[in-house]
Amino acid sequence: MKILITGITGYIGSHTAIEILKSPKLELIGIDNLSNSNVASLDRIEQISGRKPKFYEIDLCDKEALANVFEKEKDIAGIIHFAALKAVGESVEQPLRYYHNNLESLVNLLTFCKEYKVNNFIFSSSCSLYGNVSQLPVNEDTPLSETESPYAHTKLVGEKILRAFTEEADTKICALRYFNPVGAHESGLNGELPIGKPNNLVPVITQTASGMISKMTVFGTDYPTRDGSCVRDYIHVTDIAEAHVKALNYLVEDDNSDQFEVFNLGSGKGVTVIEAIEAFEKVSGLKLNYELGPPRPGDVAAIYSDSSKAESVLEWVPKRDLENMMSTAWKWQQMLNES
């Protein structure tokens, strides 16, 4: 069965590729425009899995280039769509870039999905579409509040586009709402490697610990939380990757599934930014140089997941704890520092 991963050289895409390649019956092809990742990621996938996916360096907004991929790879059975811009703060500053990139790429992909009768589709969604909710934890039935950033809005609209798409195509779709994926492959050979200055918390922490960032800032100290910093639900990237394999099996094998389904993927534990820093300090034995600063535009105060639907329907249970997330992220950073 041929599976296409968009954003394959990215953080979650590469970890998911490793899990997909464990199954000999799955053939993997990947697409990426390398705008926030490096082609060397394919070597890491091969080093860990022993298999190298076929790769197309194209931009999903380039419809002609995408048409060529579908023309060449006619019998794609499933698509896992990761490719997107994903920095909350940046999306507030550059909304048009986010709407254009994240939505045009999705519409193009679905156009070919319909034309080539691709039966299964998994969408990288985000807990950010819940907005600032009044009740925690959130499950898939929690009423959505106003989105706080254009990034979050592109994920909300993305889900709406997908739901509408089921009216004109038979494709079965799962939207997976990730909470905050962090950590690295247990081997330390693959992890998050943003190009330029990182935006996400854990790469900022590990780069601060390595001295690449002299002092990091905790964004916001007056949120209505235990210590005033934001609460997030950190979830190991390998647990997230494993959920994609389960979702793919579910789409392919379960005839009773609804044509469009959403699943939360989180650990269920709310952790403040300061607690995350302390967890890192504990596993690394290092003191982080940080200061308390103003809030980052677009951030919600607190969110964590009720993932019981994924547990019961997909039989997915996250296995790795916060210490494991921090120690694998640190192992990966140290590997990068040495290379």
Task: Kindly state the smallest distance separating residue 167's Cβ from ligand UD1, in Å.
Answer: 27
Q: Closer CB to ligand UD1, residue 69 or residue 218?
A: 218
Strand partners, 54: 29
What length is written for the chain?
339
Task: Kindly state the smallest distance separating residue 163's Cβ from ligand UD1, in Å.
Answer: 19
Task: Kindly state the smallest distance separating residue 303's Cβ from ligand UD1, in Å.
Answer: 5
Please identify which residue in the block is written with the tokens 């296995």: 319
Put residue 74 in one of left, alpha, beta given phi > 0 → left and psi -120 to 50 → alpha: alpha
Task: Kindly state the smallest distance separating residue 236's Cβ from ligand UD1, in Å.
Answer: 13
Task: Kindly state the smallest distance separating residue 129's Cβ from ligand UD1, in Å.
Answer: 9
| Distance linking the first and last C-alpha atoms of the chain | 36
Residues 92, 95: Cα–Cα separation, whole Å: 6
Q: Closer CB to ligand UD1, residue 127 or residue 169?
A: 127
CB 105 within 8 A of CB 61: yes
The one catalytic residue among 11, 98, 130, 151 = 151
CB 98 within 8 A of CB 154: yes
Task: Kindly state the smallest distance separating residue 181's Cβ from ligand UD1, in Å.
Answer: 6
Task: Kindly state the smallest distance separating residue 207's Cβ from ligand UD1, in Å.
Answer: 10
Residues that bind ligand UD1 (CB under 6 A): 86-88, 126-128, 152, 178-181, 199-201, 204, 216-219, 230, 232, 273, 296, 299-300, 303
Residue 151 is among the residues annotated as catalytic for this protein: yes
Residues 19, 2: Cα–Cα separation, whole Å: 15
Q: Closer CB to ligand UD1, residue 128 or residue 328?
A: 128
Amino acid at 182: V
Q: Which residues are catalytically annotated?
A: 151
